[in-house]
């Protein structure tokens, strides 16, 4: 039995995004963890077609109509299906959600129970603008971290974890 955990990291892993998720994955791998990266920035193919149609309906004053709202093809439902497939195949000990696209508490509990995930960890890597959302989301995780120190108390269950590190693959020392 491996003494290091199997970890799925949910974050943006597209080459056009900041490399924070990839750097975290490499750091965890260097510690001996088995890591699988889930790209939570992926969009449903249907979104490309239905989002413009929604805008047309909304511009016509039909704001109550949303072609994607309860559809299995809206981005959130699409991402959740892909994440569940990832968990089925990989069976992690830890699900590490770096907050870019989050998941609701009921869904996280469902995943934890169904896939016997030992810990679900969240890391708020957005700024302090949305403190109310951050504080409410912290309650949905076994551990929750934040990149800034202000706007929450110890009772909120949030711990400070800065997003400062040096990834020696991306950032090399200049020659002397």
pTM: 0.84
Residue 96 to residue 2: CA distance in whole angstroms: 19
Helices 105-114 and 75-90: crossing angle in degrees, nearest 10, is 20
Starting at the edge strand found earlier in the chain, the sheet holding 159-160 runs 34-39, 6-11, 94-99, 119-124, 143-146, 159-160
pLDDT bin (cut points 50, 70, 90) of residue 37 is: very high
According to DSSP, the β-strands at 159-160 and 119-124 are: unpaired
- Phi, psi (rounded to 5 degrees) for 41: -90, 0
pLDDT bin (cut points 50, 70, 90) of residue 175 is: low
Domain architecture of the chain: domains with CATH: 6-43+80-160 (3.40.50.280)
Query: What is the pLDDT averaged over residues 61-88?
Result: 84
pLDDT at 47: 77
Would you say 8 and 38 are in contact if contact means Cβ atoms under 8 Å apart?
A: yes
pLDDT at 145: 94
Number of other CB atoms surrounding residue 30 within 10 Å = 10
């Amino acid at each position: 039995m491996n003494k290091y955990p199997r970890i799925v990291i949910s974050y943006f892993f597209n080459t056009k995004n900041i490399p924070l998720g990839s750097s975290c994955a490499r750091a965890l791998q260097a510690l001996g963890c088995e890591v699988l990266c889930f790209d939570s920035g992926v969009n449903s193919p249907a979104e490309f077609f239905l989002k413009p149609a929604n805008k047309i309906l909304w511009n016509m004053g039909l704001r109550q109509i949303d072609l994607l709202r309860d559809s299995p093809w809206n981005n959130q439902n699409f991402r959740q299906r892909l994440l569940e497939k990832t968990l089925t195949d990989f069976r992690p000990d830890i699900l590490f959600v770096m907050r870019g696209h989050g998941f609701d508490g009921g869904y996280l509990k469902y995943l934890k129970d169904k896939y016997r995930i030992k810990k679900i960890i969240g890391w708020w890597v957005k700024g302090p603008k949305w403190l109310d959302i951050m504080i409410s989301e912290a309650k949905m995780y076994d551990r929750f971290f934040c990149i800034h120190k202000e706007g929450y108390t110890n009772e909120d269950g949030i711990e400070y974890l800065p997003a400062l590190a040096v990834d020696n693959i991306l950032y090399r020392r200049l020659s002397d």
